[in-house]
């Protein structure tokens, strides 16, 4: 497939760009008057090819602005669009964050074959960063555990989540995070699905688990409040594009 047939994302710094109509995919022709620092391929999605062009400035011929990524993701129920938006955002963050070799401080250059940067001095390869995380919905009879985080808007509740630490399994991370955040034990941990989450480069592994013991005790730092909710008494929950909502919807379907 030729370059002229590919759709382009535009970026500046760590931000994806859009026009005044919130359009975030551009043609190769629209790139011609812009000052492009570098461009590279993104992973294919459903046999469609995409590229991302990082600009040295925001251009003189297009009225561009930073894309509100959360808003853009929340407005799509298309899995392919979510996937490519997430990929573009994570690659932009990686490109802006890794300019120099972490081993010898030489300026990195793009690898000719892979989506990677290589050090021309020591040969170190730097790939886009992914941070594995778990996210889990805990069940107790006909209710599920939802929590309000200090990072959430007022009234918003969601599932529990956290990063996987070096050397531990995803299942152990589920047990540890639930205990650390709300003080309860879980059992029957079951993997459900995964999702790339570009804030800034998380890879979410989604689980369901059953309550095993203990009393809910929010840690008071990450989790402000938490409780058991039946399907007829759910608080404000995350939008449908999120993996947390997928887990909640699965619980609702089971009931």
In the chain, % helix, strand, coil (3-state, to 5) comes to: 20, 35, 40
Shared domain check, 78 and 15 = yes
Shared domain check, 125 and 71 = no
Shared domain check, 36 and 68 = yes
* Distance, CA of 139 to CA of 200 (rounded, Å): 29
Mean pLDDT, residues 56-67 taken together: 74
Of 49, 79, 97, at which residue does a domain stop? 97
pLDDT of residue 63: 81
Q: Calculate the dihedral angle through the C-alpha atoms of 22, 24, 25, 30, rounding to the nearest 10 degrees.
A: 80
Shared domain check, 242 and 158 = yes
Instruction: Indicate the helix (H) or strand (E) that contains 248.
Output: helix 243-254
Longest dimension (CA), the chain: 63
- CA distances for 26 relative to 11, 15, 210, 226, angstroms: 11, 15, 46, 44
* This prediction's pTM: 0.86
In this predicted structure, the answer to whether residue 2 has a pLDDT above a threshold of 70 is no
pLDDT of residue 231: 95
Shared domain check, 35 and 92 = yes
Express as a percent the part of the chain with pLDDT over 70. Answer: 95
Q: How confident is the model at residue 154 (pLDDT cuts 50, 70, 90)?
A: confident
Q: How far apart are the first and last CA of the chain?
A: 47
In this predicted structure, the answer to whether residue 3 has a pLDDT above a threshold of 50 is no
pLDDT of residue 1: 38
pLDDT of residue 61: 55
Q: Within a 10 A sphere around the Cβ of 92, how many other Cβ atoms?
A: 25
Of 129, 146, 181, at which residue does a domain stop? 129
Q: How confident is the model at residue 46 (pLDDT cuts 50, 70, 90)?
A: confident
Q: What is the extent of the structural domain holding 189?
A: 131-254
Strands lying side by side in the sheet with 36-41:
36-41, 50-55, 7-12, 15-19, 64-66
- CA distances for 29 relative to 21, 57, 63, 210, angstroms: 18, 17, 15, 54
* Distance, CA of 176 to CA of 207 (rounded, Å): 13
Shared domain check, 226 and 124 = no
Q: Between β-strands 50-55 and 7-12, what pairing exists: parallel, antiparallel or unpaired? A: parallel
pLDDT of residue 79: 83
Q: How confident is the model at residue 200 (pLDDT cuts 50, 70, 90)?
A: confident
* Distance, CA of 152 to CA of 219 (rounded, Å): 15
- For 41, the 3-state DSSP assignment is strand
Q: What is the mean pLDDT of the chain?
A: 92
In this predicted structure, the answer to whether residue 60 has a pLDDT above a threshold of 70 is no
Cα torsion angle, 116, 119, 123, 126, sign: negative
- CA distances for 179 relative to 51, 138, 174, 220, angstroms: 42, 12, 9, 13
C-alpha 35: how far from chain center: 28
Shared domain check, 153 and 111 = no
Shared domain check, 220 and 207 = yes
pLDDT in tens, 88-147: 999 999 999 999 999 999 999 999 989 999 999 999 999 999 999 999 999 999 999 999
Shared domain check, 157 and 83 = no
């Amino acid at each position: 497939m030729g370059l002229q047939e590919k759709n382009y994302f535009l970026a500046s710094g760590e931000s994806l760009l859009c026009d005044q109509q919130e359009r975030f995919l551009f043609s190769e022709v629209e790139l011609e008057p812009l000052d492009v620092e570098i461009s590279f391929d993104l992973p294919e999605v459903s046999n469609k090819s995409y590229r991302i062009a990082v600009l040295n400035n925001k251009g003189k011929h297009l009225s561009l602005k930073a894309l509100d990524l959360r808003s853009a993701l929340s407005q799509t129920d298309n899995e392919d669009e979510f996937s490519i938006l997430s990929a573009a955002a994570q690659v932009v963050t990686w490109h802006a964050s890794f300019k120099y070799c972490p081993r010898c401080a030489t300026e990195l250059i793009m690898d000719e074959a892979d989506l990677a940067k290589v050090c021309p001095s020591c040969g170190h390869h730097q790939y886009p960063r992914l941070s594995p995380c778990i996210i889990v919905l805990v069940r107790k009879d006909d209710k599920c555990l939802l929590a309000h985080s200090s990072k959430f808007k007022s009234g918003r509740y969601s599932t529990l989540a956290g990063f996987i630490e070096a050397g531990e399994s995803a299942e152990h991370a589920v047990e540890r995070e639930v205990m650390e955040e709300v003080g309860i034990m879980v059992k029957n941990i079951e993997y459900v699905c995964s999702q790339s989450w570009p804030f800034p480069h998380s890879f979410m592994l989604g689980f369901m688990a059953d309550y095993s013991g203990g009393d809910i005790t929010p840690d008071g730092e990450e989790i402000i409040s938490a409780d058991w909710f039946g399907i007829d008494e759910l608080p404000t929950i995350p939008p449908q594009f999120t993996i947390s909502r997928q887990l909640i919807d699965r619980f609702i379907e089971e009931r």
